[in-house]
Chains A and B, each alone.
Chain A
Amino acid sequence: MTHRYGDVLALDRLDLEVREGEVLAVLGPNGAGKTTAVGLLLGTLTPQSGAARVFGAAPDDAAVRRRRGAMLQVSGVPETLTVAEHLALFRAYYPSPLPTARLLEMAGLGELRDRRFGKLSGGQKQRVMFALALAGDPELVFLDEPTAGLDLDGRRRLWDEIRGLRVAGRTAVLTTHYLEEADALADRIAVIHRGRLIAEGSPEEIKSRTAGRVVRSVTSISPETARSFPEAVQVETRGQHLEIVTAEPEALLRRMFELDSGLGDLTVVGAGLEEAFLALTGGVTGGVTGGAGGPEGGT
């Protein structure tokens, strides 16, 4: 699927498959195209080329809508209605909804059923949106950044509830920019960067591939030389320091000490997600073709 917003290419020939019964995490930094991908799979957006199919039909088909639920990234419901009223309305949309008591229990909303939506905390609101996504007892659930903006406690609680989906045998698509979250919840992770699928695999595979490090030091090695190192993914100078992103810090350091024994002010830190994505794309962010199998390399 390809999708543009004006001149901005949000998704570039993204090819993504969700298998029945799995929890698929779509992982990527902000602006990677995760929400666009979810919009296309939900039928709230139409791709400029390519097509999304859900249960063998168009994503906005009436029969499809009855079998899936969604929790959107930017979403609220009218603030003056209570939790129970919102649930009653959403349950009515579906042919065989989950009982209200069960929804309240699954989302941990028991004591809050008569509280108005506008009076809830951010985490409680997210749990209401989660319960609304499940109101129709869906086979397929979309969760677009469900824990964005939640504190640690709120995130853990929602994680527990999302894990419950897996136990119930539902299929779920979850977007997140936390590798930790994808790792904790998903059977399979698809990494998206700049609208392209750059890696796909089990959480273990993805984790090992994103184990990038930043090696920072004051050295006589020139950036040009550093760029020629096979271990170096990206090289940058910051003031006096040379920063090298790498997936193999030990081998890189051995090479650097051979060339410059006077190397000083050395730090090796875990790469952030941005650096991890660079490691995955091999540093060539402009021209990687993101095939379904992802790029080779890593461990």
Chain B
Amino acid sequence: MEPTPHTLRPGLGWSVRIALLETRFQFLSSLRLPAFAVPTLLFPLFFYLFFAVVFPSGGPSLAAPTYLLATFGVFGVLAPSIFGFGVGLAQERDSGALVLKRTTPMPAGAYLFARVGVAAIFGAVVIVGLFLLAGYAAGVELYRGQWFALAGAILAGVLPFSAIGLAIGAWAKQQAAVAVVNLVFIAMSVLSGLWFPIQMLPGFLQDFANALPAYHLGQLALKVVALDLGRPVWLHLVLLGGQTAICLVVAAAGFRRFSGR
């Protein structure tokens, strides 16, 4: 054992170790919470099975399972990100767990890393499940490169969606956060074309979709399978980046208010 441990400056290795440990325990904690784990893991698979495999309807029969593979994938990443951050964070703040952690040497980055990491793990499990269903049950055929590009595009959604959850969790109390997150989750997934293409919506709602991060991520994922609306990638990336930045600013303001309280 070191003679005067507290004078040692912990390095990057220590921070990484804490971040991984934090991720492991947050994952275990989420997995043991049926209200979080069951809908997050099963809903996207169930909806895909229902709409793409059992009752595929509308459009050319092969396009619908492919379209829904991309958009339910986005849906599957949206849920753990926005619920994990939005509700999980509000809950840990209300219970005092967050303040307690702030008194410990835990780096704040480790906590954020863990929340994003847990959302990514849940998202990845959903993606694998959807791919298996699509490939073996819905008859979706893609090039190998497309499968990987699709998985990457969808999984990248963890970052902008976590930022939305962070903004909600930073401001709302736990009870309110549950309601707000549910509302945002459902409204955004419908209005972003995750359930059906937004061309089926009235014109003003199609314009409004530009304000929604899930719409842009959905378009990026759909571009991989050539079912998007044909707008340039950079436009989606710029708008998605801007929306994420706004969420982070809103979240930072919420945390400042919280620590001044």
Contacts and interface: CB of A to CB of B under 8 A. Distances in A.
Contacts of B6: 63, 66-67, 95-96
B97 A89 contact: no
Contact of B105 (A46, A78, A93): A93
A220 interface: no
Contacts of B97: 75-78
A42 interface: yes
A42 B97 CA distance: 15
Contact of A44 (B5, B17, B103): B103
A95 B18 contact: no
A5 B1 CA distance: 45
Given A67-B6, A93-B104, A80 B32 contact: yes
B32 A42 contact: no
Contacts of B28: 80-81, 85
B95 A44 contact: no
Interface string B1-34: 1100111101000000110011001101110110
Contacts of A152: none
Interface string B88-111: 000010011101101111100000
A92 B18 contact: yes
23 contacts: A43-B103, A46-B259, A46-B260, A60-B102, A62-B105, A65-B103, A65-B104, A65-B105, A67-B6, A75-B97, A77-B100, A78-B29, A80-B28, A80-B29, A80-B33, A88-B21, A95-B2, A95-B5, A96-B2, A116-B32, A129-B100, A136-B104, A142-B103
A72 interface: yes
A92 B104 contact: no
**Size band of the interface chain B makes with A:** 20 to 34
B261 interface: yes
By DSSP majority rule, is chain B's interface helix, strand, loop, or mixed?
A: helix
Contact of A78 (B18, B92, B103): B92
B25 A81 contact: yes
Interface of A: 5, 42-46, 60, 62-63, 65-70, 72, 74-78, 80-81, 85, 88-90, 92-96, 116, 129, 132, 136, 142
Interface string B64-107: 00000000000000000000000000001001110110111110
A88 B5 CA distance: 19
Nearest to B21: A92
Nearest to A129: B100
Nearest to A76: B95
Interface string B23-59: 0011011101100000000000000000000000000
Give 4 closest A-B pairs by Cβ, nearest first. Answer: A75-B96, A95-B5, A80-B32, A76-B95
A132 B105 contact: no
